Amino acid sequence: MTPERVHEIVDAQRRFFRSGATLDPDWRVAQLKKLKESIAFHRSQILAALHEDLGRTDMEGYLCDVGAVLLELNETLHGMKVWARPEKHFSGLHCFPSVRTKVYKMPYGVVLILSPFNFPFMLSLGALIPAIAGGNTAVLKASSKSAASTAVLRKIIARAFPEEYVTVIDGGHDVADMCLAARFDKIFYTGSPRVGVHVMTEAAKHLTPVALELGGETGNWCVVRKDADLKDAARKIAFFKLLNSGQICININQVAVAREVADEFLKLLRAAYEKQIGIDPLHNPEYPHLIGRKAYDAARADADAYRDRIVMGGRGDPETLRFEPTVLYPIGMDEEIVQRELFNPLLPVVPFPDAEADRLMDKIAEREHGLSLYVFTKDRKWAEKVMAEQQFGGGCVNEVVLHLMVRGVPFNGTGHSGMGAYHGEWGFREFTHPKTVLYGSNRFNLSLREHPYTGRLADLKLKVLKLMER
Protein backbone atom coordinates (compact mmCIF):
# COMPACT_ATOMS: atom_id res chain seq x y z
CA MET A 1 0.00 0.00 0.00
CA THR A 2 1.25 3.45 -0.92
CA PRO A 3 -0.14 6.96 -0.37
CA GLU A 4 -0.85 7.15 -4.10
CA ARG A 5 -2.87 3.93 -3.97
CA VAL A 6 -4.86 5.20 -0.98
CA HIS A 7 -5.69 8.42 -2.83
CA GLU A 8 -6.67 6.40 -5.90
CA ILE A 9 -9.14 4.36 -3.82
CA VAL A 10 -10.59 7.46 -2.11
CA ASP A 11 -10.94 9.32 -5.42
CA ALA A 12 -12.75 6.35 -7.00
CA GLN A 13 -15.13 6.14 -4.04
CA ARG A 14 -15.79 9.86 -4.17
CA ARG A 15 -16.71 9.61 -7.86
CA PHE A 16 -19.02 6.71 -7.06
CA PHE A 17 -20.65 8.63 -4.23
CA ARG A 18 -21.22 11.66 -6.45
CA SER A 19 -23.02 9.44 -8.97
CA GLY A 20 -25.93 9.44 -6.50
CA ALA A 21 -26.25 5.64 -6.44
CA THR A 22 -26.01 5.43 -2.65
CA LEU A 23 -28.84 7.92 -2.00
CA ASP A 24 -31.67 5.47 -2.74
CA PRO A 25 -32.80 3.74 0.50
CA ASP A 26 -33.90 0.65 -1.45
CA TRP A 27 -30.43 0.38 -2.94
CA ARG A 28 -28.87 0.60 0.53
CA VAL A 29 -31.13 -2.21 1.77
CA ALA A 30 -29.97 -4.34 -1.15
CA GLN A 31 -26.33 -3.72 -0.19
CA LEU A 32 -26.96 -4.69 3.43
CA LYS A 33 -28.55 -7.92 2.25
CA LYS A 34 -25.48 -8.62 0.11
CA LEU A 35 -23.30 -8.12 3.17
CA LYS A 36 -25.48 -10.48 5.19
CA GLU A 37 -25.23 -13.15 2.48
CA SER A 38 -21.44 -12.79 2.32
CA ILE A 39 -21.11 -13.15 6.10
CA ALA A 40 -23.18 -16.33 5.97
CA PHE A 41 -21.06 -17.67 3.11
CA HIS A 42 -17.81 -17.05 5.03
CA ARG A 43 -19.09 -18.02 8.49
CA SER A 44 -16.83 -21.06 8.94
CA GLN A 45 -13.81 -19.02 7.79
CA ILE A 46 -14.69 -16.24 10.26
CA LEU A 47 -14.75 -18.69 13.17
CA ALA A 48 -11.51 -20.35 12.06
CA ALA A 49 -9.79 -16.96 11.79
CA LEU A 50 -10.95 -15.92 15.27
CA HIS A 51 -9.52 -19.16 16.62
CA GLU A 52 -6.21 -18.55 14.88
CA ASP A 53 -5.89 -14.90 15.92
CA LEU A 54 -7.32 -15.02 19.44
CA GLY A 55 -7.76 -18.67 20.37
CA ARG A 56 -11.54 -18.41 20.54
CA THR A 57 -13.83 -21.41 20.32
CA ASP A 58 -16.56 -21.38 17.68
CA MET A 59 -19.11 -20.62 20.40
CA GLU A 60 -17.23 -17.56 21.66
CA GLY A 61 -16.50 -16.44 18.11
CA TYR A 62 -20.16 -16.60 17.19
CA LEU A 63 -21.31 -14.96 20.44
CA CYS A 64 -18.93 -12.03 20.24
CA ASP A 65 -18.51 -11.38 16.52
CA VAL A 66 -20.85 -13.19 14.13
CA GLY A 67 -24.01 -13.04 16.22
CA ALA A 68 -23.42 -9.44 17.26
CA VAL A 69 -22.97 -8.37 13.62
CA LEU A 70 -26.13 -10.19 12.53
CA LEU A 71 -28.12 -8.52 15.32
CA GLU A 72 -26.92 -5.14 14.06
CA LEU A 73 -27.69 -6.04 10.46
CA ASN A 74 -31.20 -7.25 11.20
CA GLU A 75 -32.05 -4.21 13.31
CA THR A 76 -30.80 -1.92 10.56
CA LEU A 77 -32.64 -3.77 7.79
CA HIS A 78 -35.83 -3.53 9.83
CA GLY A 79 -35.61 0.18 10.62
CA MET A 80 -33.44 1.87 8.01
CA LYS A 81 -36.17 3.06 5.63
CA VAL A 82 -38.00 4.76 8.49
CA TRP A 83 -34.78 6.33 9.80
CA ALA A 84 -33.94 7.65 6.33
CA ARG A 85 -37.25 9.44 5.74
CA PRO A 86 -37.03 13.23 5.70
CA GLU A 87 -38.60 14.79 8.77
CA LYS A 88 -41.47 17.19 8.13
CA HIS A 89 -41.76 20.27 10.31
CA PHE A 90 -44.11 23.23 10.59
CA SER A 91 -41.92 26.29 10.06
CA GLY A 92 -43.90 28.43 12.49
CA LEU A 93 -46.07 31.48 12.08
CA HIS A 94 -43.00 33.74 12.09
CA CYS A 95 -42.04 32.16 8.73
CA PHE A 96 -45.55 32.51 7.22
CA PRO A 97 -46.45 31.80 4.50
CA SER A 98 -43.41 29.51 4.12
CA VAL A 99 -44.63 27.00 6.68
CA ARG A 100 -43.18 23.77 5.22
CA THR A 101 -39.71 22.61 6.28
CA LYS A 102 -37.95 19.28 5.81
CA VAL A 103 -34.88 17.78 7.47
CA TYR A 104 -33.01 15.42 5.14
CA LYS A 105 -30.69 12.74 6.56
CA MET A 106 -27.68 13.16 4.31
CA PRO A 107 -24.66 10.85 4.03
CA TYR A 108 -21.26 12.37 4.70
CA GLY A 109 -19.71 10.81 1.61
CA VAL A 110 -16.52 8.73 1.79
CA VAL A 111 -15.90 7.41 5.31
CA LEU A 112 -12.84 5.82 6.90
CA ILE A 113 -13.37 3.09 9.51
CA LEU A 114 -10.30 2.24 11.59
CA SER A 115 -10.99 -1.02 13.44
CA PRO A 116 -9.00 -2.89 16.15
CA PHE A 117 -7.89 -6.51 16.60
CA ASN A 118 -9.92 -7.60 19.60
CA PHE A 119 -13.27 -7.98 17.82
CA PRO A 120 -12.10 -7.88 14.22
CA PHE A 121 -15.53 -8.44 12.66
CA MET A 122 -17.93 -6.84 15.15
CA LEU A 123 -15.94 -3.61 15.38
CA SER A 124 -15.37 -3.29 11.63
CA LEU A 125 -18.63 -4.55 10.15
CA GLY A 126 -20.52 -3.12 13.12
CA ALA A 127 -19.45 0.36 11.99
CA LEU A 128 -19.75 -0.43 8.29
CA ILE A 129 -23.44 -1.36 8.61
CA PRO A 130 -24.60 2.13 9.71
CA ALA A 131 -22.19 3.70 7.22
CA ILE A 132 -23.92 1.80 4.41
CA ALA A 133 -27.35 2.50 5.87
CA GLY A 134 -26.53 6.20 5.91
CA GLY A 135 -25.66 6.17 2.21
CA ASN A 136 -21.87 6.46 2.42
CA THR A 137 -19.04 4.66 0.69
CA ALA A 138 -16.40 3.21 3.01
CA VAL A 139 -12.76 2.27 3.39
CA LEU A 140 -12.13 -0.24 6.19
CA LYS A 141 -8.61 -0.09 7.62
CA ALA A 142 -8.43 -3.40 9.48
CA SER A 143 -5.86 -4.37 12.10
CA SER A 144 -2.64 -6.06 11.03
CA LYS A 145 -2.47 -7.76 14.45
CA SER A 146 -5.43 -10.02 13.65
CA ALA A 147 -4.06 -11.06 10.27
CA ALA A 148 -6.23 -14.13 9.69
CA SER A 149 -9.41 -12.20 10.46
CA THR A 150 -8.37 -9.31 8.22
CA ALA A 151 -7.80 -11.76 5.35
CA VAL A 152 -11.32 -13.14 5.77
CA LEU A 153 -12.76 -9.63 6.11
CA ARG A 154 -11.25 -8.78 2.73
CA LYS A 155 -13.00 -11.80 1.21
CA ILE A 156 -16.35 -10.87 2.79
CA ILE A 157 -16.22 -7.33 1.43
CA ALA A 158 -14.85 -8.29 -2.00
CA ARG A 159 -17.67 -10.83 -2.48
CA ALA A 160 -20.34 -8.26 -1.61
CA PHE A 161 -19.08 -4.95 -3.01
CA PRO A 162 -16.90 -3.36 -5.71
CA GLU A 163 -13.82 -1.51 -4.50
CA GLU A 164 -15.23 1.87 -5.52
CA TYR A 165 -18.05 1.35 -3.00
CA VAL A 166 -16.53 -0.53 -0.03
CA THR A 167 -13.03 -1.93 0.33
CA VAL A 168 -10.63 -3.22 2.99
CA ILE A 169 -7.09 -1.88 3.43
CA ASP A 170 -4.60 -3.95 5.40
CA GLY A 171 -1.41 -2.84 7.11
CA GLY A 172 0.11 -1.32 10.23
CA HIS A 173 0.33 2.19 11.65
CA ASP A 174 2.10 3.45 8.54
CA VAL A 175 -0.88 2.49 6.37
CA ALA A 176 -3.27 4.01 8.90
CA ASP A 177 -1.34 7.28 8.61
CA MET A 178 -1.59 7.10 4.82
CA CYS A 179 -5.35 6.87 5.20
CA LEU A 180 -5.47 9.72 7.70
CA ALA A 181 -3.46 11.90 5.33
CA ALA A 182 -6.10 11.44 2.63
CA ARG A 183 -9.24 13.55 2.75
CA PHE A 184 -12.22 11.60 4.03
CA ASP A 185 -15.64 13.02 4.87
CA LYS A 186 -16.03 11.10 8.16
CA ILE A 187 -13.67 9.03 10.31
CA PHE A 188 -14.77 6.35 12.77
CA TYR A 189 -11.99 5.02 15.02
CA THR A 190 -12.07 2.32 17.69
CA GLY A 191 -8.99 1.87 19.87
CA SER A 192 -6.88 3.59 22.51
CA PRO A 193 -7.14 7.19 23.74
CA ARG A 194 -3.50 7.79 22.76
CA VAL A 195 -4.15 6.90 19.12
CA GLY A 196 -7.50 8.68 19.31
CA VAL A 197 -5.63 11.95 19.91
CA HIS A 198 -3.53 11.27 16.81
CA VAL A 199 -6.64 10.52 14.73
CA MET A 200 -8.27 13.79 15.82
CA THR A 201 -5.09 15.74 15.10
CA GLU A 202 -4.88 14.41 11.55
CA ALA A 203 -8.63 14.80 10.97
CA ALA A 204 -8.44 18.44 12.06
CA LYS A 205 -6.19 19.21 9.10
CA HIS A 206 -9.17 18.62 6.82
CA LEU A 207 -11.89 19.57 9.36
CA THR A 208 -13.14 16.00 9.06
CA PRO A 209 -15.75 15.01 11.68
CA VAL A 210 -14.76 12.03 13.81
CA ALA A 211 -16.39 9.44 16.04
CA LEU A 212 -14.14 7.79 18.63
CA GLU A 213 -14.86 4.66 20.64
CA LEU A 214 -12.00 4.41 23.14
CA GLY A 215 -11.23 2.07 26.00
CA GLY A 216 -10.91 4.71 28.68
CA GLU A 217 -7.54 5.95 29.86
CA THR A 218 -7.92 4.99 33.52
CA GLY A 219 -9.96 1.84 32.98
CA ASN A 220 -13.51 0.75 33.68
CA TRP A 221 -14.54 0.25 37.31
CA CYS A 222 -16.76 -2.36 38.88
CA VAL A 223 -18.02 -1.64 42.41
CA VAL A 224 -19.29 -4.41 44.69
CA ARG A 225 -21.12 -3.19 47.81
CA LYS A 226 -21.37 -5.29 50.96
CA ASP A 227 -25.11 -5.88 50.40
CA ALA A 228 -24.54 -7.33 46.91
CA ASP A 229 -25.30 -10.90 45.92
CA LEU A 230 -21.62 -11.83 46.06
CA LYS A 231 -21.95 -15.21 44.36
CA ASP A 232 -23.86 -13.68 41.45
CA ALA A 233 -21.36 -10.81 41.18
CA ALA A 234 -18.37 -13.17 41.24
CA ARG A 235 -19.91 -15.41 38.58
CA LYS A 236 -20.58 -12.54 36.19
CA ILE A 237 -17.24 -10.80 36.77
CA ALA A 238 -15.35 -14.07 36.18
CA PHE A 239 -17.25 -14.68 32.94
CA PHE A 240 -16.49 -11.19 31.68
CA LYS A 241 -12.77 -11.29 32.48
CA LEU A 242 -12.46 -14.70 30.79
CA LEU A 243 -14.14 -13.44 27.64
CA ASN A 244 -11.52 -12.79 24.93
CA SER A 245 -8.90 -13.07 27.69
CA GLY A 246 -9.84 -9.61 28.97
CA GLN A 247 -9.17 -7.87 25.63
CA ILE A 248 -12.42 -5.91 25.57
CA CYS A 249 -12.75 -2.14 25.66
CA ILE A 250 -15.76 -2.25 28.00
CA ASN A 251 -14.32 -4.96 30.25
CA ILE A 252 -13.78 -4.52 33.96
CA ASN A 253 -10.34 -3.08 34.56
CA GLN A 254 -10.48 -3.24 38.35
CA VAL A 255 -12.99 -4.19 41.04
CA ALA A 256 -13.61 -2.12 44.15
CA VAL A 257 -15.03 -4.44 46.82
CA ALA A 258 -16.42 -3.48 50.21
CA ARG A 259 -13.73 -4.41 52.74
CA GLU A 260 -16.32 -6.10 54.95
CA VAL A 261 -16.97 -8.81 52.32
CA ALA A 262 -13.68 -8.82 50.40
CA ASP A 263 -12.42 -12.19 51.68
CA GLU A 264 -15.71 -13.91 50.91
CA PHE A 265 -15.86 -12.30 47.48
CA LEU A 266 -12.34 -13.48 46.60
CA LYS A 267 -13.23 -17.07 47.55
CA LEU A 268 -16.37 -16.93 45.41
CA LEU A 269 -14.44 -15.34 42.54
CA ARG A 270 -11.88 -18.17 42.57
CA ALA A 271 -14.68 -20.73 42.63
CA ALA A 272 -16.41 -19.01 39.72
CA TYR A 273 -13.23 -18.98 37.64
CA GLU A 274 -12.54 -22.64 38.34
CA LYS A 275 -16.10 -23.67 37.54
CA GLN A 276 -16.06 -21.84 34.21
CA ILE A 277 -12.53 -22.51 32.93
CA GLY A 278 -11.10 -25.22 35.23
CA ILE A 279 -8.10 -25.24 37.55
CA ASP A 280 -5.59 -25.23 34.66
CA PRO A 281 -6.74 -22.62 32.12
CA LEU A 282 -3.36 -22.63 30.35
CA HIS A 283 -4.20 -26.10 28.99
CA ASN A 284 -7.92 -25.56 28.48
CA PRO A 285 -8.62 -25.26 24.73
CA GLU A 286 -11.63 -23.05 25.49
CA TYR A 287 -9.47 -20.31 27.03
CA PRO A 288 -8.57 -17.56 24.53
CA HIS A 289 -5.04 -16.20 24.23
CA LEU A 290 -3.59 -12.72 24.00
CA ILE A 291 -3.19 -11.20 20.55
CA GLY A 292 0.61 -11.23 20.41
CA ARG A 293 3.89 -11.40 22.29
CA LYS A 294 3.84 -7.70 23.15
CA ALA A 295 0.48 -8.06 24.89
CA TYR A 296 1.68 -11.22 26.65
CA ASP A 297 4.86 -9.53 27.87
CA ALA A 298 2.84 -6.59 29.23
CA ALA A 299 0.63 -8.95 31.24
CA ARG A 300 3.68 -10.84 32.44
CA ALA A 301 5.42 -7.63 33.53
CA ASP A 302 2.40 -6.40 35.50
CA ALA A 303 2.01 -9.77 37.21
CA ASP A 304 5.70 -9.82 38.13
CA ALA A 305 5.52 -6.28 39.52
CA TYR A 306 2.70 -7.34 41.87
CA ARG A 307 3.90 -10.91 42.49
CA ASP A 308 3.63 -10.53 46.27
CA ARG A 309 -0.09 -9.69 45.97
CA ILE A 310 -1.23 -12.35 43.50
CA VAL A 311 -3.98 -14.32 45.23
CA MET A 312 -4.92 -16.32 42.14
CA GLY A 313 -3.21 -17.14 38.84
CA GLY A 314 -0.06 -15.38 37.72
CA ARG A 315 1.26 -18.00 35.30
CA GLY A 316 1.55 -17.74 31.55
CA ASP A 317 2.75 -19.68 28.52
CA PRO A 318 4.69 -17.58 25.98
CA GLU A 319 4.32 -20.30 23.36
CA THR A 320 0.51 -20.30 23.37
CA LEU A 321 0.23 -16.64 24.51
CA ARG A 322 -2.22 -17.69 27.23
CA PHE A 323 -2.04 -15.94 30.58
CA GLU A 324 -4.03 -17.17 33.53
CA PRO A 325 -6.88 -15.17 35.03
CA THR A 326 -4.89 -13.33 37.69
CA VAL A 327 -6.31 -11.59 40.75
CA LEU A 328 -4.23 -8.98 42.60
CA TYR A 329 -5.20 -8.10 46.20
CA PRO A 330 -5.11 -5.77 48.05
CA ILE A 331 -4.48 -2.89 45.66
CA GLY A 332 -4.67 0.74 46.73
CA MET A 333 -6.96 3.19 45.00
CA ASP A 334 -4.02 5.35 43.94
CA GLU A 335 -1.63 2.66 42.76
CA GLU A 336 -0.34 2.90 39.21
CA ILE A 337 -1.95 -0.31 37.99
CA VAL A 338 -5.49 1.02 38.56
CA GLN A 339 -4.81 4.27 36.76
CA ARG A 340 -4.46 2.85 33.25
CA GLU A 341 -6.23 0.39 30.98
CA LEU A 342 -4.84 -3.16 31.29
CA PHE A 343 -6.55 -5.01 28.40
CA ASN A 344 -5.60 -8.45 29.70
CA PRO A 345 -6.75 -11.10 32.25
CA LEU A 346 -5.28 -9.29 35.28
CA LEU A 347 -7.85 -8.07 37.80
CA PRO A 348 -6.75 -5.71 40.58
CA VAL A 349 -9.12 -5.76 43.57
CA VAL A 350 -9.37 -2.56 45.61
CA PRO A 351 -10.90 -2.84 49.12
CA PHE A 352 -12.86 0.11 50.48
CA PRO A 353 -15.05 0.73 53.57
CA ASP A 354 -18.64 0.29 52.45
CA ALA A 355 -19.67 3.38 54.39
CA GLU A 356 -17.34 5.37 52.11
CA ALA A 357 -18.91 4.24 48.85
CA ASP A 358 -19.84 7.81 47.90
CA ARG A 359 -16.27 8.95 48.51
CA LEU A 360 -15.06 6.11 46.29
CA MET A 361 -17.36 7.25 43.49
CA ASP A 362 -16.09 10.81 43.90
CA LYS A 363 -12.50 9.61 43.43
CA ILE A 364 -13.50 7.62 40.34
CA ALA A 365 -15.27 10.72 38.97
CA GLU A 366 -12.07 12.76 39.36
CA ARG A 367 -10.30 10.51 36.85
CA GLU A 368 -10.83 10.27 33.11
CA HIS A 369 -14.27 9.01 32.14
CA GLY A 370 -14.46 5.27 31.58
CA LEU A 371 -16.26 3.59 28.72
CA SER A 372 -18.28 1.53 31.19
CA LEU A 373 -19.21 1.26 34.86
CA TYR A 374 -20.69 -1.71 36.70
CA VAL A 375 -22.15 -1.76 40.22
CA PHE A 376 -23.43 -4.67 42.28
CA THR A 377 -25.75 -3.78 45.15
CA LYS A 378 -29.26 -4.33 46.46
CA ASP A 379 -29.54 -0.60 47.17
CA ARG A 380 -31.34 0.37 43.97
CA LYS A 381 -31.74 4.00 45.04
CA TRP A 382 -27.97 4.37 45.47
CA ALA A 383 -27.30 2.56 42.20
CA GLU A 384 -29.69 4.77 40.24
CA LYS A 385 -28.13 7.89 41.78
CA VAL A 386 -24.65 6.70 40.73
CA MET A 387 -25.77 5.82 37.22
CA ALA A 388 -27.58 9.14 36.79
CA GLU A 389 -24.72 11.31 38.06
CA GLN A 390 -21.48 9.55 37.11
CA GLN A 391 -19.81 10.32 33.76
CA PHE A 392 -19.08 7.21 31.66
CA GLY A 393 -20.12 5.66 28.36
CA GLY A 394 -22.61 3.05 29.54
CA GLY A 395 -22.94 0.26 32.06
CA CYS A 396 -25.02 -2.11 34.16
CA VAL A 397 -26.44 -2.54 37.65
CA ASN A 398 -26.04 -6.11 38.94
CA GLU A 399 -24.94 -7.25 35.49
CA VAL A 400 -22.03 -6.92 33.06
CA VAL A 401 -21.67 -6.20 29.32
CA LEU A 402 -25.31 -6.85 28.35
CA HIS A 403 -26.05 -3.14 27.83
CA LEU A 404 -24.07 -3.59 24.63
CA MET A 405 -26.69 -6.02 23.29
CA VAL A 406 -29.84 -3.95 23.85
CA ARG A 407 -31.57 -2.87 20.65
CA GLY A 408 -32.45 0.75 20.06
CA VAL A 409 -29.91 2.23 22.50
CA PRO A 410 -26.55 3.89 21.80
CA PHE A 411 -23.07 2.56 22.48
CA ASN A 412 -20.70 5.42 23.14
CA GLY A 413 -17.99 6.96 25.25
CA THR A 414 -17.33 10.39 26.68
CA GLY A 415 -14.13 12.35 27.16
CA HIS A 416 -11.16 9.98 27.13
CA SER A 417 -13.47 7.06 26.38
CA GLY A 418 -14.69 8.60 23.15
CA MET A 419 -17.25 10.71 21.34
CA GLY A 420 -20.17 9.94 19.09
CA ALA A 421 -22.45 6.91 19.29
CA TYR A 422 -23.61 3.97 17.22
CA HIS A 423 -25.75 0.81 17.10
CA GLY A 424 -29.14 0.81 15.42
CA GLU A 425 -30.65 4.20 14.68
CA TRP A 426 -27.89 5.90 16.69
CA GLY A 427 -25.38 4.53 14.20
CA PHE A 428 -27.47 5.77 11.30
CA ARG A 429 -27.44 9.24 12.89
CA GLU A 430 -23.68 9.04 13.41
CA PHE A 431 -23.06 8.45 9.71
CA THR A 432 -25.51 11.07 8.43
CA HIS A 433 -25.85 14.79 8.93
CA PRO A 434 -29.26 16.51 9.19
CA LYS A 435 -29.89 19.07 6.46
CA THR A 436 -32.72 21.56 7.00
CA VAL A 437 -34.57 22.93 3.98
CA LEU A 438 -37.45 25.45 4.14
CA TYR A 439 -39.80 25.53 1.15
CA GLY A 440 -40.84 29.09 0.49
CA SER A 441 -44.08 30.50 -0.86
CA ASN A 442 -44.62 33.54 -3.11
CA ARG A 443 -48.23 34.07 -2.04
CA PHE A 444 -49.53 36.00 0.98
CA ASN A 445 -46.04 37.19 1.88
CA LEU A 446 -45.96 39.51 4.86
CA SER A 447 -43.53 42.39 4.95
CA LEU A 448 -42.66 42.10 8.63
CA ARG A 449 -38.98 41.38 7.96
CA GLU A 450 -38.57 44.16 5.44
CA HIS A 451 -37.81 47.85 5.93
CA PRO A 452 -38.86 50.25 7.27
CA TYR A 453 -37.65 49.34 10.80
CA THR A 454 -38.74 52.69 12.30
CA GLY A 455 -41.96 54.63 12.57
CA ARG A 456 -45.54 53.60 13.36
CA LEU A 457 -45.50 50.65 10.95
CA ALA A 458 -42.35 49.31 12.60
CA ASP A 459 -44.04 49.40 16.02
CA LEU A 460 -46.90 47.33 14.64
CA LYS A 461 -44.47 44.85 13.07
CA LEU A 462 -42.66 44.45 16.38
CA LYS A 463 -45.88 43.72 18.22
CA VAL A 464 -46.84 41.08 15.66
CA LEU A 465 -43.38 39.48 15.82
CA LYS A 466 -43.51 39.27 19.62
CA LEU A 467 -46.97 37.71 19.39
CA MET A 468 -45.67 35.06 16.97
CA GLU A 469 -42.74 34.15 19.25
CA ARG A 470 -45.00 32.93 22.03
**Which residues have a catalytic role annotated?**
213, 249
> For the chain, what is the largest distance between any 2 Cα atoms, rounded to a whole number of angstroms?
91
List % helix, strand, coil for the chain (3-state, nearest 5). 50, 20, 30
Nearest to 35 by CA among 63, 64, 76: 76
The one-letter amino acid at 46: I
Radius of gyration of the chain (CA): 26
CB under 8 Å to 112, separation ≥6 — which residues?
A: 138, 139, 141, 179, 180, 182, 184, 186, 187, 188
Q: How many CB atoms lie within 10 A of CB 307?
A: 9
Q: Alpha helix (H) ranges present in 256-375?
A: 262-277, 293-305, 357-366
Of 389, 283, 297, nearest in space to 343 by CA: 297
What span, in angstroms and rounded, lies between the C-alpha atoms of 161 and 392? 37
Q: Are 238 and 332 spatial neighbours (Cβ–Cβ below 8 Å)?
A: no
Spell out where 179-261 has E strands.
Answer: 186-191, 210-214, 221-224, 254-258
> CA angle at residue 465 from 462 to 470, to 5 degrees?
130
Pick from 106, 58, 59: which is nearest to 86 by CA? Answer: 106
Instruction: Give the number of C-alpha atoms closer than 13 A to the C-alpha of residue 70, restricted to the C-beta side.
Output: 12
Question: How far apart are the two ends of the chain, measured CA to CA in Å?
Answer: 60
